[in-house]
Amino acid sequence: MSLFYSPNPNASLLLNPSSISVPTPTKPHFASPPQLSHHHLLYSSPISNRSSLVLRFSSLSDMDSTSGQSLYPLHRTKTIHLVRHAQGIHNVEGEKDYNAYLSEELFDACLTPLGWQQVDNLRKHVQERGLNKKIELVITSPLLRTMQTAVGVFGGEGYTDGIEAPPLMVANAGESNRPAISSLNCPPFVAVELCREHLGVHPCDRRRSINEYRPLFPAIDFSLIENDADILWTADVREENQDVAARGQKFLSWLWTRKEKEIAVVTHSGFLYHTLSAFGNDCHPSVKCEICTHFNNCELRSVVVIDRSMMGSDPATTNYPGKIPAGLDLPSDVAQEKHPEMGVSN
């Protein structure tokens, strides 16, 4: 199935950061990712036991129907594993009383004991499916609950003192009552601000300073975060849904600039929901619902990003040119076109 989205049905939507509206000065600003021209995205995913799906940026005018198949060269794709963080203390308190989201006691919410059980179960699933051997990079939102989830699911085994490599997480980080997690035999981890939750008002979505995080998560790379303090979160203005969606498109555009082919992204419910809600408008309603449904805590959905342009794709690594050694190999149908007089008459 192919899912197309464009804000203008008569024009293609290009993933060019300059074409995405920037929030007004009263709202947080992010550094723009490198500019990409004529770049499109497609997502194809078997999600758990669900049927596979495809999402593609394009013009609505070139839609064939709500059914069909698409074929793309493998080297023009990236596989992305999207994960919502496990249960945090804010999820529990907020479901009991929505006003609890305004409480400073939930500042930079950590995982609950139940959340850590969810992490352990997802980790088991990832290993059983062999994803831990395929993923080349883990990107995480720089909040406590997402980093705890990321290292718990995709990190190495228990950390042992004396090992030269720093741990991904030290023991009892964020009052987790968990042992240290090793950075050996696992992909690199990078913290990225663009995939944070809604910014503003809710203290649970305000991060600590990066200098506070570094001792807790020594092997996570925080170099892409420009400011030590959280200058994006404001106490009196909550980020609008459309601004979260625009930020999500910037994140996806930036993601394509990475060299890695298989990437895990650990982020938040609101960010995922508003980023993905732009897709599926040309599909069967059940498929649209599948794409836009809120993620459960610690849910994983795998998708494929497609480059439909000639920009930014790596050379093919599995293709083989053939004709080695060279020899005559003109196909019969081509030969008939080249010499129509030799064709068989009816």
Count CB neighbours of 117 within 10 A.
14
In a domain, 335, yes or no: no
* DSSP-assigned states of every residue in 101-149: GG-GGGTTPPBPHHHHHHHHHHHHHHHHTTGGGT--EEEE-SSHHHHHH
Q: Report CA-CA distances (Å) from 13 to 1, 9, 44.
A: 19, 9, 19
The H or E element spanning position 319 is: none
In a domain, 193, yes or no: yes
In a domain, 291, yes or no: yes
The residues, any chain, with a CB within 8 Å of residue 128's CB and separated by 6 or more, are: none
Whether 85 is a known active-site residue: answer: yes
Q: Is the dihedral of CA 204, 209, 214, 220 positive or negative?
A: positive
How far apart, in whole angstroms, are the C-alpha atoms of residue 74 and residue 316? 8
Quote the number of domains for the chain. Answer: 1
* 284 three-state secondary structure: coil
Q: Which long-range contacts (CB under 8 A, 24 or more apart) does 180-186 make?
A: 181/151, 181/152, 181/155, 181/156, 181/157, 182/155, 182/156, 182/157, 182/158, 183/155, 183/156, 183/218, 183/219, 184/156, 184/157, 185/156, 185/157, 186/132, 186/138, 186/154, 186/155, 186/156
In a domain, 219, yes or no: yes
Whether 299 is a known active-site residue: answer: no
User: Model-level pTM?
Assistant: 0.80
In a domain, 337, yes or no: no
Mutual orientation of helices 241-256 and 269-276 as an angle, nearest 10°? Answer: 80
Report the pLDDT value the prediction gives residue 312, as an integer from 0 to 100. Answer: 59
In a domain, 331, yes or no: no
Report the pLDDT value the prediction gives residue 32, as an integer from 0 to 100. Answer: 47
Report the pLDDT value the prediction gives residue 311, as an integer from 0 to 100. Answer: 60
Domain containing 138 equals: 4-309
Where the chain has pLDDT below 50, the residues are: 1-26, 32-66, 345-346
Report the pLDDT value the prediction gives residue 273, as an integer from 0 to 100. Answer: 95
Q: Among residues 39, 93, 193, 197, which one is catalytic?
A: 197
Whether the CB-CB separation of 120 and 128 falls below 8 Å is answered with no
CATH number at residue 39: 3.40.50.1240
How far apart, in whole angstroms, are the C-alpha atoms of residue 333 and residue 335? 5
Q: Among residues 81, 85, 198, 268, which one is catalytic?
A: 85
Report the pLDDT value the prediction gives residue 310, as an integer from 0 to 100. Answer: 64
Report the pLDDT value the prediction gives residue 323, as an integer from 0 to 100. Answer: 87
* DSSP-assigned states of every residue in 172-222: TTTS-----B--TTS--EEE-GGG----SS-GGG----HHHHHHHSTTEE-
Report the pLDDT value the prediction gives residue 346, as an integer from 0 to 100. Answer: 44
In a domain, 322, yes or no: no
pLDDT in tens, 188-204: 999 999 999 999 999 99
In a domain, 302, yes or no: yes
Q: Report CA-CA distances (Å) from 148 to 47, 131, 152, 165, 179.
A: 23, 19, 6, 19, 12
